[in-house]
Amino acid sequence: MLLLLISFIAGVLTVLAPCILPLLPVIVGGTLSDGGTAGFNKRKAFTIILSLGASVIAFTLLLKASTLFIDIPEYVWKWISGGIVIFLGLVTFFPSLWESKLLAKLSAKSNILLGKGDQKKNFWGDVIVGAALGPVFSTCSPTYFIVLATVLPVNFFLGLTYLLTYTIGLCLSLLIVSVVGQKIMNKLGVVADPNGWFKKTLGVVFLIVGIAIIGGLDKKLQLTLLDAGFFDVTKIEQTLLQKNNPPQTTPTPDTPVENTTMKKDSGSYPTMEQKQAKYKKVPELSSIDGYVNTDGKPITLAELKGKVVLLDIWTYSCINCQRTLPYINDWYAKYKDQGLVVVGLHTPEFAFERIQSNVEKAVERFGIKYPVVLDNDYSTWNALGNQFWPRKYLVDIDGYIVYDHIGEGNYEETEKAIQSALKERASRMGMEDKVSTKTTKPTDVVTVDTSKVKSPETYFGSSRNQYLANGTPGRAGEQTLTIPSSISFNKLYLGGTWNMTSEYAESKSAGSVIFNYEAKNVYITAESAEGVEVEIYKDDVFVKKVLIKDETLYPLIQDAEYGKHTLRIVVPKAGLQAFTFTFG
């Protein structure tokens, strides 16, 4: 019941969220831009706001029910939403466009269906404006996310009730904002003239907002406001949510194993009350987009209750994740008969990692036998509050997270935590304790001394290519670049013509890549539709050729010692898509 109230309050507060503030002029302005009428236009306000609310609900249900749009890049949705807002700005700035003979001809049949030309002319435009903004508004509330990620998958009707309540609160608050905005503008007497300075200014505001959405500037403004602590109403929601579900202590990765797991030596295990006070329950798998190694059948954590579950968050092109897999494979083989189930939660970093066939190939290549589920929309990742690849959550037989480790390493500690949880299971179920106390060390592992790796993960795509030294970071589109005579440490240099997308840089001609690094091993995540064989040089000494084709991680340099070197990649032709460098 409290979550129902929180959902309503969250809807009301959403209008003050940093990601919504830049869009409020579109709501208020859209209800004002009505051919010169200065009175309060209830129809326009209700049409835009109710269309927005319906769009929030439809967008949410579509997100839960379908993966149809999974491979459509984020920038496509930015262009669609931003384009509609820009169109509204043009119509507001040039009202004659809406009244042109061309639009009149296009709308003739619709006028007949609706009866009044004026009604058609405005009604569908208002519906489109409201519907276009729904997906933007629906992602600015923690409460909305909790309903999306945890309630809807478990109880559809309860989740739908919370979603409707959230939407009602959102629509009521927007209605109040639009009414107050209209009354203020009407009293100023500047709204009536469709060709007046106010409408022109409003049109410019719409154009700026539309361009900001397309360019991602609205998100940058959001981050600026949040960093400044200004208008961060989500903190109010999070406080209310904590009252609804009080926070419980989750062991940190650096906590010694004896403080984070149950000990068989003590002769007893924590009671349910003690577990409730110390640990938190694992959330259910949410919006899973595919299943591997399950014979095509869905799995849930609820059906695994009574087992010990190791939930491993990974993505297949991540070298840090890859280096943990030999240990996880060994643990699964060693303990599966004692009640251990491993579930790989594959959460993609790049779009190509959302494709199930790519994940299936990786699972086979790495010899993974345990179930892997695809968390393409990050809903389970977010429900866990995660921010890292890889990460391991150990869940006991009662569904509590009793151990949590971020990143690589601490393998002995992790295995002892598994042993302890399995021993508790054997004790609780009256079974003979056959759990080994010895720890495993696979032979086919690559060890890394992270203190000696001085180079950061380096992205090629425009959304994260801050290390690009001889081009314009953050700018999408083609750039023709030349390699300078002086190369700086930990800076990315590209030679030739490259097309920058948000995720990768694609060679449009023959070219080169240069990076001065300090590490032992160097890897690149890349692909090429037709295949590109690149030449690898270390300190201007030829190392090898690498054929890049499939969308995966490729080892470029594998040395015996750590050191500072210059990597040079010669790209012989167009078609290489480079995503990121990683070092080890």
Q: What's the mean pLDDT when you consider all of the chain?
A: 77
pLDDT of residue 296: 83
Give the range with max mean pLDDT: 23-27, 214-218, 230-234, 572-576: 572-576
List CB contacts of 189: < 8 A, sequence separation 6 or more: 38
In the structure encoding, which two tokens stand for residue 13, read together?
């507060």
- The pLDDT tens digits for 97-112 are 544 444 444 333 433 3
pLDDT of residue 241: 46
**Three-state DSSP state, 298:** coil
Minimal CA–CA distance to 417: which of 300, 249, 247, 255?
A: 255
Question: Residue 556's Cα: distance from chain center in Å?
Answer: 29
Residue whose entry in the numeric block shows the structure tokens 């000494």: 541
Third-level CATH fold of 451-583: Jelly Rolls (2.60.120)
Burial class (CB in 10 A: 0-12, 13-18, 19+), 27: buried
Residue 114 has pLDDT above 60, yes or no: no
Domain with CATH 2.60.120.260 in the chain: 451-583
- The pLDDT tens digits for 38-69 are 455 677 777 777 887 787 777 767 655 544 44
Domain with CATH 3.40.30.10 in the chain: 248-428
pLDDT of residue 262: 36
The answer to whether 26 and 206 have CB atoms below 8 angstroms apart is: yes
Q: Identify the residue with better confidence: 117 or 162.
A: 162
Q: pTM here?
A: 0.58
List CB contacts of 88: < 8 A, sequence separation 6 or more: 26, 30, 33, 125, 129, 206, 210
What would the mean pLDDT of 321-327 be, rounded to a whole number? 95
- The pLDDT tens digits for 242-272 are 454 443 333 333 333 333 333 333 347 888 8
- The pLDDT tens digits for 410-455 are 999 999 999 999 999 999 888 888 898 899 889 878 889 989 999 9
Banded pLDDT at 134 (limits 50, 70, 90):
low
The answer to whether 456 and 467 have CB atoms below 8 angstroms apart is: yes
Q: Identify the residue with better confidence: 436 or 227.
A: 436
d(CA 402, CA 419): 12
pLDDT of residue 518: 97
pLDDT of residue 111: 37
CATH superfamily for domain 248-428? Glutaredoxin (3.40.30.10)
